[in-house]
Amino acid sequence: MNYDVIVVGAGHAGMEAAAACARMGLNTLMVTLRKEEIGQMSCNPAIGGLAKGQLAREVDALGGLMGRLTDEAGIQFRMLNTSKGPAVRSPRAQCDRKGYKAAARRVLESIPNLTILEDEAVEIKGGKSITGLRCKGAGEIACKAVILTTGTFLQGLMHFGLETKVGGRMGSPAAYPLSDNLRALGVDLGRLKTGTPPRLDGTTVDFSAFEPQGGDDPPPRFSFWAGIEPRNRAACHLGHTNDRTHEIIRASLDRSPLYTGRIKSRGPRYCPSIEDKVVKFSHHPRHYVILEPEGLDTTELYANGIATSLPADCQLDFVRTIRGLERVEITKFGYSVEYDYVPPHEIWPTLECRKIEGLYFAGQINGTSGYEEAAALGIAAGINAGAKLKGLPPVVFSRDQAYLGVLIDDLATKDTSEPYRMFTSRAEYRLLLRQDNAHLRLWRIARQYGLLPPDVLERFEAEERKRDEILEGLRSVRLQVTAELKRLCEQRATAVPQTSVTAEELLRRPLVRYADLGEGVPLISDSVIQQVEIEVKYAGYIRRQREAVDRGRRQEEKHIPVGFEYEAVPNLTNEAREKLNKFRPATLGQAARLSGVSPADIQSLLIFLVS
């Protein structure tokens, strides 16, 4: 057997990496421990959320699977933060867990150039440059590149109270030989932890004690191009813990692996266990519990907000103190899992290993948390592996181009001591990186690397062109102060203009909409209308962010040669020299974002580079 690329893992990162390589025309093999777990949602059955929705839209804009799978398997769709500005609005969908997996496997099996093998990867072959991969069953398979997307499986260890069990997730084995193999090849590995809450029997829940949360009408799509109409078919329910819940948890901390020292690695700060919430936020009298349906053909519920690794009896005790859950039965108990990951200083911004050419890492193995982060890294690794094999330039997303750029740049410039989670606050240019314009930001990359069908690319290009034409036209169309315009101003609670105004000036007013402009402007699609209204109403903010991008681009465009000797640069502090040698930034901008590297260090480095 001989392949161009082998992808190890079939979770959200692995699926996107394998699909991207195959779409680029590469003979691709995806190796997974179990085919029936392709596309498994190991934690909550949901896609999107704050900032994560932007990542999911970007994956879709690059021809990825996540958006179309979510539209097909989703059972509740919402747009979050609709009362706030467009920079922080994000789509979120509750999914049918089994439906998502089924759709993922069906789509993957239909992609040309992609083969799926059920086996265990045990050894990377080739030393300093990839020549193949050895699997437990199939033996050695020749290839030119390997993408590792192993999630929580590398030496995975699950914690159930004070008991431990080897495994990557409940019911799945861990991957041990591959960790030892990476260490033998000189790759540093770290250790992280994540957790999951109990699942509940919905027939034993008193839903009258919870606040129902339905979907939006119409439901927002995730995919810009797949053409699948999403449907709202289920609701979530919001409840809260209470003082009694917290008392039981505090009394059980001597049986918690988090508080007895059995778990030594760090978990995600922004998705803490209920034990951590109770201890670290003791001033809060209650915490959210959101009951999320696992699917349409099951009564099982995911209890979002109470992730725990306490023993089973403790879990049942504290869960039954929550109003509406007094008689609940737990169908699966929560647990924590520790696993190996590859620290960012081992990886180039293309996600290729610094020490082994042709080896790429994507997903939780990079030190991230979440399906969306994993999918984004997966598609980036797939594109770059494919580009390298086809002799195309690599793709390094910039911070002003995509949340994907923010994600990879943060990983490349920050010490990862806990699983990284994306937030809108991490993106300094978030008004430019909205969820609604991901396809317009990234379609050129999709075209360059053959990631989307030609008709879809033509549609995206036409939409961008139409938006720009409309914006230009609004500046030239003048509206006279007529009785009709006066009535409109009264209806929209805005002052009547003293003289004629351009359509752009009128649309800039807060309550005025494109449809109010009358016959002087052309009819356009809802998607283009949304783009036009945002560009006009937030023109000042958008202009300032673009000016900031231009100022920062001078540093981003100043590249630092591979293998640059920082010891030769005078006046660098010892801490700066240590960080620069460890992370090996690709640009002066990346160097400036390293903790411990001061503006004076950057100035010294710049002087040396240009001299």
Q: Mean pLDDT in each 10-residue stretch from start to end of the chain (611 residues)?
A: 95 98 98 95 95 98 98 98 95 98 98 97 94 96 98 94 92 90 95 95 98 96 94 97 97 94 82 92 94 97 97 98 98 96 92 96 95 98 98 95 95 82 92 97 98 97 96 92 93 93 94 87 88 96 92 82 88 88 87 85 86 73
Let me know whether 410 and 523 are in one domain: no
Let me know whether 460 and 513 are in one domain: yes
Show which of 526, 546, 566 is a domain's final residue: 546
Helix axes 539-556, 526-537, angle to 10 degrees: 80
Show which of 420, 448, 476 is a domain's final residue: 448
42 is a domain residue:
yes
Q: What is the CATH number of the domain that holds 533?
A: 1.10.10.1800
CA distance 475 to 501: 9
Let me know whether 489 and 402 are in one domain: no
Residues 6+ apart with CB under 8 A from 554: none
Angle at alpha carbon of residue 466, lines to 465 and 469, rounded to 5°: 90
Let me know whether 467 and 478 are in one domain: yes
Query: What range defines the domain where residue 580 resides?
Result: 558-610
Q: What is the CATH number of the domain that holds 576?
A: 1.10.150.570
Let me know whether 300 and 252 are in one domain: yes
443 is a domain residue:
yes
CA distance 372 to 391: 28
Let me know whether 353 and 229 are in one domain: no
In sign, the C-alpha dihedral spanning 491, 495, 498, 500 is negative
Angle at alpha carbon of residue 19, lines to 14 and 20, rounded to 5°: 100
79 is a domain residue:
no
pLDDT of res. 538:
96
Show which of 336, 355, 376 is a domain's final residue: 336
Let me know whether 364 and 223 are in one domain: no
Q: What is the CATH number of the domain that holds 239?
A: 2.40.30.260
80 is a domain residue:
no
Domains of the chain: total: 4
Return the H-helix or E-strand segment holding 509: none
Which residue, 40, 52, 68, 11, is CA-closest to 404? 52
pLDDT of res. 344:
86
Cβ neighbours around 529 below 10 Å, total: 16
Sole residue written with tokens 């034990």: 275
CA distance 583 to 414: 9
Token pair listed for 395: 């793709």
106 is a domain residue:
no
Let me know whether 61 and 162 are in one domain: yes
Which residue, 22, 108, 61, is CA-closest to 389? 22
**DSSP characters for 428-443?**
TTTTTS-GGGHHHHHH
Let me know whether 119 and 207 are in one domain: no
pLDDT of res. 405:
96
Let me know whether 528 and 479 are in one domain: yes
CA distance 392 to 374: 24
551 is a domain residue:
no
**DSSP characters for 340-399?**
EE--GGGB-TTSBBSSSBTEEE-SGGGTB-SHHHHHHHHHHHHHHHHHHHHTPPP----T
Let me know whether 213 and 355 are in one domain: no
503 is a domain residue:
yes
Sole residue written with tokens 């009394």: 251
The DSSP bridge partners found for residue 302 are 199, 292
Q: What is the CATH number of the domain that holds 349?
A: 3.50.50.60
pLDDT of res. 226:
92
Q: Cβ distance 580 to 566 under 8 Å?
A: yes
CA distance 211 to 237: 5
Let me know whether 485 and 386 are in one domain: no
102 is a domain residue:
no
- What is the SS3 assignment for 187? coil
Residues 6+ apart with CB under 8 A from 87: 424, 430, 431, 433, 434
- What is the SS3 assignment for 315? helix
Q: Give Dmax over CA atoms of the chain in angstroms.
A: 81
CA distance 390 to 448: 12
Which residue, 357, 356, 406, is CA-closest to 380? 406
CA distance 236 to 207: 10
CA distance 540 to 143: 51
